[in-house]
Structure 1
C-alpha cells in the first residue's frame, strides 16, 4: 500500500517553523528512498519464459511442452541456491490461491490429475521442458510454470495473465490427430525427367512415440528421407522428403502421405493428406497396332487397324498411316478399315505424334489366295467322304458276316432234311425192284427207266412218326426191249 502525503501543507506559511520544515524534509527523503527500493525490487523480479502458446495432444499419448526461462542474475542466484524446483499450475497462476490447482511439484514429488509428469529439461541451465504422460480429454486447459530456488533465493510464476493477454501455454487434447501437411513445388504439370520434390510433415507432440509417415505411391526412382525436426516454436514434427525424376509411368498417379500415431490406451490412429495427382508431359510411348480379325486373312476380308499409344497431353495426339514402299500417307486417323485384295500383302506403319515427340509401330498383313482356301475345302471334303465310305464298309462287313452265319445254320438244317428224303426214295425204289426180280427169276432181263423229273410233291404222301422213316413212292415204266430181241 502506498501512502501519498501533500507536501504543500508542510510548506505553508502557517507551519513555516524550523521544526516543521525539518519534518517535511525528512518525509520527502523517506518517500524518495522508498521509491528507489520498489523499482529495484521490480527489476529484480523481472522474469520471463519461452514456451508455445498452444500444443495439441492426442488422447492416450503424451505431450511435451518445450520451455526455457530467463531470470536476471540467474548465475548468482543459482550459486546461492542449494536446490531448484519446478511447479506446474493448472488454470490459475496464483500459487497461494486456495482455488489454484497444483498439477506437479518436483520439490515434494506431487502429481495430481495425471499418471505421470516429468521435467526433462535441466533447471540449472534454465530449461524447463516438461512431458505430460497419458493425456486425457479433461487435461485440456491453461498451464503456468513456477520456479523456486531454495532457501528463499527466488520464487516466481512465469508469464502470468497480464490484462486480456495470456502468455502461457494452452494444452488442447483431441481424440484424432491432425492430418499431415503435404508440400510440393510445380506439380500442376511437370515434364518427363524433371526432378520432383515432395515434403510431408506430421506433428509429434510426444517425441517418445513419434508418428510414422508412409506414401501411397512411390515412383521407381524415388529417394525418401525421414527425420524428427524442431520447429521455430520449439515443438517437434516428423518430416519425410521424397525426391524422384518424373516418368511417363507416373502420369495420373495419386500421391498422398499417411501419418500413423501409436497410442497405448487404444489402437493406432491413422490420418491421410489430400491426394495430389501427378501430371507428367511426355512424348508417345508403347506405340503398337491392333489388327482385327487377324494378321493372316483371305481375299475379300474387311480388316481394321487401330493405332494405340500413350502420350501427354493425350488430346494433342496425332496418327499417320503409311503402307510399305509408299511415301504418301494413306490415312490420318487412329483407326482405319479396308477390304483385303491380292496386292495387300505388305507392312503397314503407324506414327503417333504430339508436340513432345513421336513414335512408330509396324504390322505385317498376310493375304491367303482363294485357291489355297479351295484346296483346303476339297481336302477336307475328300477326307470326310473317305472316312464315311470306310465306316460304311465296316458296317456292311459286320452285317454281312452276321447274315452269312445265320444262313449257314439254316442251310445246314435244310440239307440234312433233304438228304434224309433222298435216302428214303432210293431205298424204296431198290426194295420194289428186288421184289419184282424175285417173282420173275425165270424171265428174261429187262431194262427200265426211272423218270424222277415227273415226281410231284402233290402226288407224294408223307407219314410222320417218331420211329418210322419217311416213305417216297414213284412210278416206274419198263420199256419193251425183249420184244425187239424176240423178233431178231
Structure 2
C-alpha cells in the first residue's frame, strides 16, 4: 500500500472520531437536567408535609411544545423506574396514589416547579423520595438525582410523633436594662403550611406588641415566626417568658411544644421603705428595697434636719428616747441609682390619712343613724302617749255626759219650766254619737256643743192613762 493511501485513510479516521465526539457532546448537552429540594423534611404524624421542589431541563420550552403529554412521578426508596422492586407513590398519568390518603402536585409545571404535598403522614412513610418527569412521546424521560454520589440531594421524609423544638431568640438568661426595648422572636417549623402551628406567648406585659407571619427558609421550607416587643420594667425582673406552638393534626390530641427565656432586668432601688420593731425600750428600724443587682445594694441612715449620715447598714438600732425625739429615714443605693424611704413614708402617711377619713366618715354616718333612730322612737312614743290621753279624755267625756243627762232640765207639754228634785232614769243610746278622730279634733279646737238624741222612758208620769215616750234634747258642753 502506498504511503499516500495510508495518509488518506488516517485522515478519514480522525475526521470520523471528531464527528462522533461532537455528536456525543451535543447529545449530553441536550439532556442536561437537575432538581433542587431540601435534603430532609421532618413531618408530624397525622399532619401533612410539603416538599418544595424545582427542576431545570435544558431547552424545556422546546421539549414541552414537542411533547403531547407530561407525566409527573414520585418514587419511594428506589430511583429506578423500571425496577421491579420500585414503589410508585404517585403517577399523574394514571392518577395512581399508593400508600397515602392523598398526594397533590401544587407546583406550576410550566415554571418548572414540582412542589408536592403528601397528606396524612404516618410513621411508615419515612423514606427517601425521587422525582421523575416523562414527556411523551419519547421527548424526555429522567429521574432527578438518581446516582449514588448525588443521592443526598434528593429529599428524605422523616416522620415523628412530636414537633421539632422551637427556636427562641434570645434564649436562656437575658440581661436587659430597665427602660430599654426587649425584642423576642419565636420560630416554629411549618412542614404543612396549609395547617400551620399557632404560636402563643405567656407572662409578657399587657403593653407588648405581637406580630406573627409565615416565612420561607433558604431551603424553601416554611416556618411560623412570632415577634414580641416591649419596654423592660423592673416588674419584669426574673420573669419566665414562654413561647408555645400548637400543631393541629388528624389525631385525637394536638401537639404543643414550648420554649422559655428568663429576663434579668437591671434597675436602681425601687419601693424603698423601712419597718419598725421594738424590744423593751429599744427600737430597730429595718430598711428594705428592690434592686438589680442586689448584691451591691447598700443602705445609709439619716435623721431629718441633719445633713450627715448617722449610720450605715440595713438596720438602725435606737433607744426609746432617740426614737421619740427624732425622725429617721434610709437611702438604698446600687450602681444604677438610689432611692430614699422618705417618699415611701409620705405615701404611707397619705394612705393613713385617707384611712382616717374613711373611719371618720363611717363613724359620723353611724352617729347620724343612731340620732335618727332615737328621734323616730321618741316621736313614736309621743304619739302613743297622745293616743292614750285621747282615750282617757273620751272616757272622762262619757262620764260628764252621764252627769249632764241625769241633771237635765225636763220640758213639759205646756212649755213651762218645771224644776224637779226627783231623780229620773232614762235609757241613753250613744250609738249615733261619732267619736274617734272627730272627737279629738273637737278637743283640739276648744269648746264645742253637740246635740245627741236621748230616749228617756218616764216611769213615774202617766199622760192620759198611758205610758208615753218623750223625746227631749240634752245640751252637752264639753271642755
User: C-alpha separation between the residues in 2 aligned to 1:244 and 1:309?
Assistant: 25
| Corresponding residue to 2:320 among 336, 340, 343 | 340
CA contact 1:185–1:196 (8 Å) conserved in 2? no
User: C-alpha separation between the residues in 2 aligned to 1:343 and 1:60?
Assistant: 74
Q: Which residue of 2 aligns with 1:445?
A: none
Secondary structure of the corresponding residue to residue 37 of structure 1: helix
Change (3 A) 1:143 1:340: same
Displacement of 1:331 in angstroms is 1.9
User: C-alpha separation between the residues in 2 aligned to 1:100 and 1:22?
Assistant: 53
Change (3 A) 1:333 1:37: same
User: C-alpha separation between the residues in 2 aligned to 1:97 and 1:190?
Assistant: 62
Displacement of 1:246 in angstroms is 1.3
| Corresponding residue to 2:219 among 192, 217, 233 | 233
User: C-alpha separation between the residues in 2 aligned to 1:331 and 1:199?
Assistant: 48
Residues 440-471 of structure 1, C-alpha deviations (whole Å, 9 max, x = no match):
xxxxxxxxxxxxxxxxxxxxxxxxxxxxxxxx
Displacement of 1:189 in angstroms is 2.4
Displacement of 1:347 in angstroms is 2.6
Q: What pairs up with 1:63-462 in 2 under 5 angstroms? A: 63-163=49-149, 165-184=151-170, 188-273=174-259, 275-292=260-277, 301-341=281-321, 344-362=324-342, 363=345
CA contact 2:185–2:225 (8 Å) conserved in 1? yes
Secondary structure of the corresponding residue to residue 358 of structure 1: strand
Secondary structure of the corresponding residue to residue 278 of structure 1: strand
Q: Give the total of aligned pairs.
A: 346
Residues 147-166 of structure 1, C-alpha deviations (whole Å, 9 max, x = no match):
12233322211111243753
CA contact 1:84–1:123 (8 Å) conserved in 2? no
User: C-alpha separation between the residues in 2 aligned to 1:350 and 1:291?
Assistant: 12
Change (3 A) 1:38 1:342: closer
Q: Which residue of 2 aligns with 1:10?
A: none
CA contact 2:283–2:323 (8 Å) conserved in 1? no
Displacement of 1:320 in angstroms is 1.4
User: C-alpha separation between the residues in 2 aligned to 1:227 and 1:277?
Assistant: 24
User: C-alpha separation between the residues in 2 aligned to 1:103 and 1:319?
Assistant: 75
Q: Which residue of 1 aligns with 2:371?
A: none
Displacement of 1:130 in angstroms is 0.2
User: C-alpha separation between the residues in 2 aligned to 1:277 and 1:28?
Assistant: 77
User: C-alpha separation between the residues in 1 aligned to 2:68 and 2:45?
Assistant: 38
User: C-alpha separation between the residues in 2 aligned to 1:31 and 1:69?
Assistant: 34
Unaligned runs of 5+ in 1: 1-12, 367-488
Q: Which residue of 1 aligns with 2:462?
A: none
CA contact 2:73–2:132 (8 Å) conserved in 1? yes
Note the aligned Cα RMSD (angstroms).
2.7
Q: Which residue of 1 aligns with 2:396?
A: none
CA contact 2:170–2:261 (8 Å) conserved in 1? no
Displacement of 1:29 in angstroms is 5.0
Change (3 A) 1:266 1:343: closer
The alignment's TM-score, normalised by the length of structure 1, stands at 0.66
CA contact 1:185–1:197 (8 Å) conserved in 2? no
Q: Which residue of 2 aligns with 1:39?
A: 25
Displacement of 1:38 in angstroms is 2.4
Secondary structure of the corresponding residue to residue 311 of structure 2: coil
CA contact 2:174–2:261 (8 Å) conserved in 1? no
Change (3 A) 1:314 1:17: closer
The alignment's TM-score, normalised by the length of structure 2, stands at 0.67
User: C-alpha separation between the residues in 2 aligned to 1:122 and 1:313?
Assistant: 59
User: C-alpha separation between the residues in 2 aligned to 1:343 and 1:47?
Assistant: 93
CA contact 1:180–1:271 (8 Å) conserved in 2? yes
Secondary structure of the corresponding residue to residue 152 of structure 2: coil
CA contact 1:58–1:173 (8 Å) conserved in 2? yes
Secondary structure of the corresponding residue to residue 163 of structure 1: coil
Displacement of 1:262 in angstroms is 1.2
Structure number with bigger Rg: 1
Unaligned runs of 5+ in 2: 350-479
User: C-alpha separation between the residues in 2 aligned to 1:157 and 1:306?
Assistant: 81
Change (3 A) 1:110 1:342: closer
Displacement of 1:58 in angstroms is 0.8
Secondary structure of the corresponding residue to residue 124 of structure 1: helix
CA contact 1:195–1:246 (8 Å) conserved in 2? yes
